[in-house]
Amino acid sequence: NKAEAIEVFDLKGGDYFADYVVIASSLGERHTFALLDHLKKGLKPDEQFLYVDESGDWIAIDLGDILVHILTPQFRSKYDLESFLSEISARKNAR
């Protein structure tokens, strides 16, 4: 559904509570909810949604070993999850 700037972080074997984190940008609040709906329909048979924290600017989806963040570009820039997750990934790979 045309999420933008999708990044996947492999944190398996590291100090983070999820093995993988996916970050994607939406085009805006309505698109954020549309992307969530698309994931629910597309992943429902294969993945169990353990928890979903919804706001128009940021949706976090806990699939157990995978954590998905869908953010508006403004929130993505403001919270800069990529830097945080890159540091965790670098520590994991330095071991």
Quick one: pLDDT at residue 26?
A: 97
Question: Is residue 95 in some structural domain?
Answer: no
Question: Nearest-CA neighbor of 23 among 87, 92, 84, 64?
Answer: 84
pLDDT tens string 22-81: 999 999 999 999 999 999 999 878 889 999 999 989 999 999 999 999 999 999 999 999
Q: Does pLDDT of 84 surpass 90?
A: yes
In this prediction the pTM is: 0.92
| HEC letters along 41-89 | HHHCCCCCCCEEEECCCEEEEECCCEEEEEECHHHHHHHCHHHHHHHHH
13: domain CATH number is: 3.30.460.10
Q: Domain range spanning residue 38? A: 4-89
Number of structural domains in the chain? 1
Quick one: pLDDT at residue 29?
A: 93
Quick one: pLDDT at residue 93?
A: 82
